[in-house]
């Protein structure tokens, strides 16, 4: 929707704010209605349809909790859920404004504002509102990953969150154990967003050293350092207009967090070897397998950065908590790998399904995928029985005593890798660090030993 066709309601108990907004919008919008008393919301919304409401966060009413804006936002959503709401807030109430986004606000503006910034925000919200009406529901989305094969209530709740959050530009933090599908959920959010035709750029943030962090994310100019033979754009510029997905965000250092926070605040990057800032327009999605308590530890993670990346939080449950999905996922993988390995008639025996449903899957969906793939490759006939299912050596491995020890170097190395990975609950970055090798070298050994 264009601003010139919009009907806008402004609610603020400061008459100067109402006058300023009315003068600014009267030549830009179709109609502007101003109100000092938020109580009029109860009578206005049933009588008149507004495309957008500008709502103050604090009023001098009998509600003195400091959450007046949240209260009236909820009331607006009850009376007219399709009406877009922009919250007006002072700098000190930013945390409350972020909370309002989780309650359904489209955006917020900090006062005092620049008129151009306010107009841009209004136009963006109106454009998103009209664009989101053309988005198909998640249930109709083309399946791009196995984790979307689900029927459990826990995953249905995740899908509802994605439907609400995807059409917005809210920064999203995805939490979950290794193998739960954080990467694919991020891709779905991008696919369901208004940025879907723009790039989706993934960065394994935890694998970037201090020296690589800035050059990879922000780019560099020719001659910035010894190997800089030509200009190169960073991941932020590559994602311009689209989505930037930072995986393993909890593993970046405090110094890296400071640089990232500065870019997110200013929406500008500066290439190494240059003094010229470059504006970037990205939607940020972050993911980590670390518990939220680790992000809340200020010795490990900056609290102001947590606020920046955590406008909407999505926690993907482990597979052991969504048992209802195990059979569905297993059949999905059987179908896919049967086709891949030219065994089109493969099926799961009830004994196999029963064995899968009783297993706790420490490696989550990724482990289930590998179990089914291995079973199809090794199976002698078209029926996968419980005996065909071999669970992860990470769980079955037990250290040999000295009398029966296999002292070959390859065995010792494999056992050491298994032990360290198990110690760090499958976190490859931490395991590689303790083993004294790079993530790439560790992945090569995992492949070599078929781990």
CA distance 143 to 149: 8
Provide long-range contacts, Cβ within 8 A and 24+ apart, for 307-310.
307/94, 307/95, 307/98, 308/171, 308/261, 308/264, 308/265, 309/171, 309/173, 309/249, 309/264, 309/284, 310/171, 310/173
CATH class of 146-315: alpha beta
Radius of gyration of the chain (CA): 26
Angle, helices 210-218/254-266, rounded to nearest 10 degrees: 20
Q: How far is CA 342 from CA 257, 317, 319, 334, 337, in A?
A: 48, 33, 28, 12, 8
Answer CATH for 395-448 from 1.20.1530.20, 1.10.274.10, 1.10.10.60, 3.40.50.1980: 1.10.10.60
**295-329 pLDDT tens trace:** 888 888 898 999 899 889 999 999 999 998 999 99
pLDDT at 211: 75
CATH class of 3-132: alpha beta
Per-residue pLDDT of 225-278, as tens digits, reads: 877 788 888 899 999 999 999 999 998 889 899 999 999 999 999 998 889 999
Q: Quick one: pLDDT at residue 408?
A: 61
Same fold: 3-132 with 395-448:
no
Distance, in Å, from the CA atom of 191 to the CA atom of 243, rounded to the nearest integer, reads 10
**Nearest residue to 246 (alpha-carbon basis) of 194, 147, 173:** 173
Q: Coil, strand or helix: which one is 400?
A: coil
Q: What is the pLDDT of residue 394?
A: 55
Could you say which DSSP state residue 272 is in? B
Handedness of CA 339, 343, 349, 355 (dihedral sign): negative
What pLDDT is recorded for position 88?
87
Q: Could you tell me the two tokens for 140?
A: 């109709």
Looking at residue 124, its pLDDT comes to 81
Which two structure tokens, joined as six digits, stand for 36?
A: 């000092």
Strand partners, 384: 348
Pick the CATH number of 319-391 from 3.30.300.20, 3.40.50.261, 3.40.50.300, 1.10.8.60: 1.10.8.60
* Residue extents of the structural domains in the chain: 3-132, 146-315, 319-391, 395-448
Q: Say how far apart CA 401 and CA 409 lie, in whole Å.
A: 16
pLDDT in tens, the chain (451 residues): 778 889 999 999 888 889 889 988 988 899 999 999 999 999 899 888 999 999 988 876 554 455 788 888 999 988 888 899 998 887 555 566 667 777 888 888 877 777 877 888 898 888 777 654 444 444 444 334 444 778 888 998 898 899 889 999 999 999 999 889 899 999 999 988 999 889 999 998 878 887 788 888 998 888 878 777 888 888 999 999 999 999 999 988 898 999 999 999 999 999 988 899 999 999 999 999 988 778 888 888 898 999 899 889 999 999 999 998 999 999 989 988 888 888 888 999 999 999 999 998 988 998 999 999 999 998 888 999 998 998 866 544 333 334 444 456 667 777 788 888 877 767 788 888 888 788 777 877 777 776 7
């Amino acid at each position: 929707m264009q601003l010139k066709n919009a009907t806008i309601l402004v609610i603020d108990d400061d008459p100067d704010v109402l006058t300023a907004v009315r003068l600014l919008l009267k030549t830009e919008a179709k109609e502007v209605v101003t109100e000092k008393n938020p109580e009029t919301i109860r009578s206005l919304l049933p009588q008149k349809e507004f495309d957008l409401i500008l709502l103050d966060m604090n009023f001098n009413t009998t509600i003195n909790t400091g959450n007046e804006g949240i209260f009236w936002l909820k009331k607006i959503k009850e009376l007219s859920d399709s009406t877009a709401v922009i919250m007006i807030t002072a700098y000190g109430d930013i945390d409350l404004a972020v909370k309002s986004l989780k309650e359904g606000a489209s955006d917020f503006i900090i006062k005092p504002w620049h008129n151009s910034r306010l107009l841009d925000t209004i136009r963006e919200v109106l454009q998103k509102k009209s664009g989101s009406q053309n988005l198909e529901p998640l249930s109709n989305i083309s399946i791009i990953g196995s984790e979307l094969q689900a029927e459990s209530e826990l995953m249905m709740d995740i899908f509802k969150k994605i439907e609400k959050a995807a059409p917005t530009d809210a920064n999203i933090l995805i939490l979950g154990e290794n193998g739960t599908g954080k990467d694919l959920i991020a891709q779905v959010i991008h696919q369901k967003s208004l940025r879907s035709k723009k790039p989706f750029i993934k960065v394994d943030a935890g694998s970037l050293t201090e020296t690589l962090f800035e050059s990879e994310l922000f780019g560099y100019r020719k001659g910035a350092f010894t190997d800089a033979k030509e200009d190169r754009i960073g991941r932020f510029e590559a994602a311009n207009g689209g989505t930037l997905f930072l995986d393993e965000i909890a593993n970046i250092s405090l110094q890296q967090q400071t640089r990232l926070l500065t870019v997110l605040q200013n929406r500008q990057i500066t290439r190494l070897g240059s003094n010229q800032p470059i504006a970037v327009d990205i939607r940020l999605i972050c993911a980590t397998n670390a518990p939220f308590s680790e992000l809340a530890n200020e010795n490990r993670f900056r609290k102001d950065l947590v606020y920046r990346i955590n406008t909407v939080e999505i926690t993907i449950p482990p597979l052991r908590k969504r048992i209802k999905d195990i059979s569905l996922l297993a059949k999905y993988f059987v179908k896919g790998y049967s086709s891949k390995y030219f065994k089109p008639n493969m099926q799961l025996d009830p004994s196999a399904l029963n064995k899968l449903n009783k297993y706790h899957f420490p490696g989550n969906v990724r482990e289930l995928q590998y179990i089914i793939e291995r079973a199809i490759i090794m199976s002698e006939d078209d029926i996968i029985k419980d005996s065909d299912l071999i669970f992860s050596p990470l769980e079955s491995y037990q250290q040999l005593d000295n009398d029966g020890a296999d002292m070959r170097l390859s065995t010792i190395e494999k056992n050491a890798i298994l032990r360290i990975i198990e110690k760090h609950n499958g976190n490859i970055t931490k395991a590689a660090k303790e083993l004294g090798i790079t993530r790439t070298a560790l992945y090569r050994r995992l492949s070599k030993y078929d781990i």
